[in-house]
């Protein structure tokens, strides 16, 4: 198995509060997407803006049953970049927009690992 050289994925599973409008959710998504323009260490982002029923793999179905509706994912070049991102004033401002709209969230970081299968 080969651990990605320095690359760190930052994932936030989110359940928005009842009563949060689609336009408010869209504002949060746009705010997240804009962070890549404001915070240098953000390498790229992916937002599957979905109700998990659109996904077919079992992991997403399990997440759906836990109540999460959206995933926010960022890629960083190093753990140090994640720390810099978390402390950045633009991220703090985003959190002030994000947190009042959220019923619950689960955030975690990981380094992807490649497994080579020999058949």
Q: Which of 24, 9, 34 minimizes the C-alpha distance to 90?
A: 34
Per the CB < 8 A criterion, the answer to whether 105 and 13 are in contact is: yes
Do the domain assignments include residue 119? no
Supply the CATH number for residue 69's domain. 3.30.70.100
Tens digit of pLDDT for each residue in 37-66? 899 888 664 444 433 222 223 345 666 667
Residue 104 banded pLDDT, cuts 50, 70, 90: very high
Structure-token pair, residue 8: 């760190």
Is the separation of the CB atoms in 74 and 43 below 8 Å? yes
The pTM of the full predicted model, rounded to 2 decimals, is 0.76
Position 55 scores a pLDDT of 28
Q: Which domain, by its residues, includes 43?
A: 2-114
The total number of structural domains in the chain stands at 1
**Is there a domain that residue 59 lies in?**
yes
State the pLDDT at residue 84: 94
Q: What is the DSSP letter of 18?
A: T
Residue numbers annotated as active site: 85, 88
- pLDDT band at residue 99, thresholds of 50, 70 and 90? very high
Residue 23 domain-assigned?
yes
The pLDDT, as a whole number, for residue 60 is 58
Higher pLDDT, 82 or 4: 82
């Amino acid at each position: 198995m080969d651990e990605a050289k320095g690359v760190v994925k930052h994932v936030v599973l989110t359940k928005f509060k009842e009563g949060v409008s689609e336009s408010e959710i869209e504002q949060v998504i746009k705010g997240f997407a804009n962070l890549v323009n404001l915070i240098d260490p953000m390498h790229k982002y992916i937002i599957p803006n979905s109700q998990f029923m659109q996904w077919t793999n079992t992991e997403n179905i399990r997440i759906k049953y836990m109540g999460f509706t959206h995933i926010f994912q960022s890629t960083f070049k190093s753990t140090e970049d994640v720390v810099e991102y978390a402390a950045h004033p633009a991220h703090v401002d985003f959190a002030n927009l994000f947190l009042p709209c959220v019923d619950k969230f689960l955030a975690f970081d990981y380094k992807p690992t490649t497994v080579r299968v020999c058949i």
